[in-house]
Amino acid sequence: MKAKKSIQTTLVHSDYKAPASFDAYPMAVHHASTVLFPNVAAMRSRKWADKSGYTYGLHGTPTTFTLEARIAEIEGGRYCVLAPSGLAAISMVDLAFLKSGDDILIPDNIYGPNREVGDWLARAFGVSTRYYDPLIGAGIAALITPHTKLIWTEAPGSVTMEMPDIKAIARAANDAGVLVALDNTWSAGLAFNGFEHGADIVMQALTKYHSGGSDVLMGAVVTREPALSRRLDLAYRHMGLGVGADDAYLVLRGLPTMKLRFEAHDLSARRIAAWMQARPEIAKVLHPALPDCPGHAIWQRDFTGAGGLFSVIFDPRYSEQQTDRFVDSLDLFKIGYSWGGASSLVMPYRIDSMRSNWSEPGQLVRLNIGLESTDDLIADLEQALATLK
């Protein structure tokens, strides 16, 4: 028989249990640091690493396991590990698969902070970091040494938009026993299947299309091979990474509408890209679905869509001061990093300071086409272009 409890203990432990039969379409959100075990034997028998049960909040809850499984399904992989940001997912890949003395190859057009991690690995951890031409294709074979362990790819580089030949890079890497990691954020995992094109590790910034709300930061790393998944789980554990239950829920909530949103972004972005291409102020539109974008043929061969992100290069007769005024004059396009949310965004980039190899003249401005009316966005661009005169 249970002893009568004082009110203080009743405040901590209640005897009430809600009926177990509740069911609804949305996932329940499980908040926990401590996970309770029914007895000592259960505690001793559960292993954090096999994810078949619950041991501690950091090692997974029904909410995070569900999100992991769903991201793995979308990417066509088997295993997924979440990270508190896309960048944390990138660092987790590097720390899982590299040690001092190893060599890593990173495309020259990679997402900027990924490059900064590469420089940090070289500076602080004795890794040799080299940057390669994103359009290198099968030529990557000539850069691989016995020390090369990992090749990063991004399809396409999300500022200058060159589309790499993942298949050719992966074939050369596989022949040499080198792992290929793909940043698949641009395609949301909807328009491109990284594994079917030879990637071993697929990384996503769930911050972008998966969330869709511009209100959560999260990343994911997906694999197919148990040995790779184990290495990632260890890195995740040693780095003490974890994601909050409410954040995981926000991403789960975004999934059912992600493809519809992605297609709406894509349709609007292609119309706006074509409109920009016809403007005399614009020297180049960098959108992989346009025939003169570097790597366009690869996009056509491998991708089923494009999403909402592309860049333009202004005619070199316009100074940075003038194109900054263009950016400042936009009304619906807000100035801010990131993409994949409902609001259109704009960001000018100083490319020559970001790349080892960039000789294209003219100012580069990146556009994230949101979910506003396409006609309103075009009208906004038109009035801002008029300020260049």
Burial 150-182 (b: 16+ CB within 10 A, else e): bbbbbbbbbbbbbbbbbbbbbbbbeeeebbbbb
Q: Is the peptide bond before 256 cis (omega within 30 degrees of 0)?
A: no
Collapsed DSSP state (helix, strand, coil) of residue 285:
strand
Tokens of 120: 């940090």
Return the residue of 111, 249, 299, 326 that touches ligand PLP, per CB under 6 A: 111
- Tell me which stretch binds ligand PLP (CB under 6 A): 38-46, 84-92, 125-133, 356-364: 84-92
Q: Tell me which residues in 325-364 interact with ligand PLP (CB under 6 A).
A: 338
d(CA 19, CA 268): 48
* CA torsion angle 262 267 268 269 (round to 10): 80
Q: Which stretch binds ligand PLP (CB under 6 A): 3-11, 138-146, 202-210, 296-304?
A: 202-210
Q: Is 205 in the site for ligand PLP (CB under 6 A)?
A: yes
Token code pair at residue 113: 């902070």
Residue from 67, 87, 202, 377 that binds ligand PLP (CB under 6 A)? Answer: 87
Member of 193, 207, 211, 223 binding ligand PLP (CB under 6 A): 207
Per-position x/- string for 290-309, each x denoting binding to ligand PLP as judged by CB under 6 A, each - no binding:
--------------------
The whole-angstrom separation of Cα 126 and Cα 99 is 8
Q: Which two tokens stand for residue 104?
A: 């890593």
Q: List the one residue out of 148, 163, 57, 61 whose CA is nearest residue 109.
A: 163
> Judged by CB, which is closer to ligand PLP: 85, or 223?
85
Type of residue found at 21? S
How many CB atoms are closer than 10 A to CB 215? 11
Tell me whether the omega of the peptide bond preceding residue 107 falls within 30 degrees of 0, making it cis: no
Q: Binding segment for ligand PLP among 29-37, 203-211, 275-283, 379-387 (CB under 6 A)?
A: 203-211
Taking CB under 6 A as the binding criterion, the range among 68-76, 85-93, 138-146, 380-388 that sits at the site for ligand PLP is 85-93
Least separation in angstroms between residue 389's CB and ligand PLP is 33
| Per CB under 6 A, 262 contacts ligand PLP | no
CB of 280 to ligand PLP, least distance (A): 30
185 sits near ligand PLP (criterion: CB under 6 A): yes
CB of 158 to ligand PLP, least distance (A): 4
- For 156, which DSSP code? S
Q: Which residues pair with 83 in a beta bridge?
A: 219
Which residue among 217, 332, 378, 388 contacts ligand PLP (CB under 6 A)?
217
For position 201 contacting ligand PLP by CB under 6 A, the verdict is: no
Listed residue (337, 341, 314) closest to 325, CA to CA: 314
**Which part of the chain contacts ligand PLP (CB under 6 A), choosing from 92-100, 133-141, 205-213, 226-234?**
205-213
Output the smallest distance, CB 84 to ligand PLP, in A.
8
Task: List interacting residues with ligand PLP (CB under 6 A).
Answer: 85-87, 111, 154, 158, 183, 185, 205, 207-208, 217, 219, 338
